[in-house]
Amino acid sequence: MKSHLAELLSRFKRELITIGLFSAVINILMLSPTLYMLQVFDRVMISQSEITLIVLTALVLFFYCVQAFCEWMRSRLMIGVGLHLDAALSAAVFHGTFRDQLRMSGRAPIQSFSDMTTIRQWLTGNGAFAFFDLPWSPIYLGVMFMLHPMLGWLTILFMLILLGFAWWTSVATQASNEASEDEEKALNVFIHSKLQNAEVIEAHGMVPNFMKHWWQQQISTLQTQTNGKSKANAFTVSSKELRVLMQSLSLGAAALLAFQGELSFGAMIAASLLVGRATSPIDQIVGGWSGFIAARQAMRRLESVLQQAPNAGPLALPTPDQISVALRAVSATAEGREAPILTDIHADFPAGRVYIVRGSSGAGKSTLGKLILGIWPDWQGEVLLNGCPIQSLDRSRLGAHLGYLPQDIELFSGTVADNIARMNAPDSAKVIEAAQIAGAHDMILRLPNGYDSKIGPGGHTLSGGQRQQVALARAVYGLPRLVVLDEPNSNLDVRGEAALIGALKRLREQGCTVLMITHRALGAGIADEVLQMEAGRIVRRDAESTADPIADELPTVAPLTPAMPS
Report which of residues 82 and 77 the model is more confident about. 77
Q: What's the confidence (pLDDT) of residue 221?
A: 77
Question: Taking Cα atoms as reference points, which of 540, 498, 155, 198 lies closest to residue 355?
Answer: 540
Q: What's the confidence (pLDDT) of residue 107?
A: 61
Q: What's the confidence (pLDDT) of residue 550?
A: 40
Report which of residues 445 and 174 the model is more confident about. 445
Other CB atoms within 10 A of residue 386 CB: 17
Report, as an integer, the average pLDDT of 352-376. 86
SS3 512: coil
Spatial neighbors of 412 by CB under 8 A, at least 6 apart, are: 418, 419, 423, 455, 457
Q: What's the confidence (pLDDT) of residue 62?
A: 93
Can you give the pTM of this predicted structure?
0.64
Q: Is 405 left (phi over 0), alpha (psi -120 to 50) or beta?
A: beta
CA dist list (Å): 47 to 106, 256, 268: 75, 25, 19
Question: Taking Cα atoms as reference points, which of 408, 382, 400 lies closest to residue 464?
Answer: 408
Confidence of residue 317 (pLDDT cuts 50, 70, 90): low
Q: What's the confidence (pLDDT) of residue 562?
A: 38
Helix, strand, coil fractions of the chain, as percent rounded to 5: 65, 10, 25
- Average pLDDT taken over every residue of the chain: 78
Distance separating alpha carbons of residues 486 and 427, to the nearest angstrom: 26
DSSP 381-433: EEEEETTEEGGGB-HHHHGGGEEEE-SS----SEEHHHHHTTTS---HHHHHH
Q: What does R_g of the chain's alpha carbons equal in angstroms? A: 35
Torsion, CA 310, CA 312, CA 314, CA 316, rounded to 10: 180
Write down all domains in the chain, each with its CATH number in brackets.
4-306 (1.20.1560.10), 325-553 (3.40.50.300)
How far the first Cα of the chain sits from its last, in Å, is 78
Distance of CA 411 to the CA centre of its chain: 22
Q: Say if CB 157 and CB 294 are below 8 A apart.
A: no
Strands across the sheet with 388-389, in order? 342-349, 325-332, 379-385, 388-389
Distance separating alpha carbons of residues 454 and 137, to the nearest angstrom: 61
Report which of residues 563 and 202 the model is more confident about. 202
Q: Say if CB 150 and CB 257 are below 8 A apart.
A: yes
Report, as an integer, the average pLDDT of 219-248. 75
Does pLDDT of 161 surpass 50? yes
DSSP 309: P
Distance separating alpha carbons of residues 307 and 284, to the nearest angstrom: 32
Spatial neighbors of 59 by CB under 8 A, at least 6 apart, are: 32, 36
Q: What's the confidence (pLDDT) of residue 58?
A: 92
Report, as an integer, the average pLDDT of 522-536. 78
pLDDT (tens digit per residue) in 30-45: 888 878 877 887 778 8
Report, as an integer, the average pLDDT of 384-403. 83
Stated length of the chain:
566
Give the rounded percent of residues in the chain with a pLDDT score beyond 90: 4
Distance separating alpha carbons of residues 6 and 441, to the nearest angstrom: 52
Give the rounded percent of residues in the chain with a pLDDT score beyond 70: 84
Q: Are β-strands 342-349 and 325-332 bridged in parallel, bridged antiparallel, or unpaired?
A: antiparallel
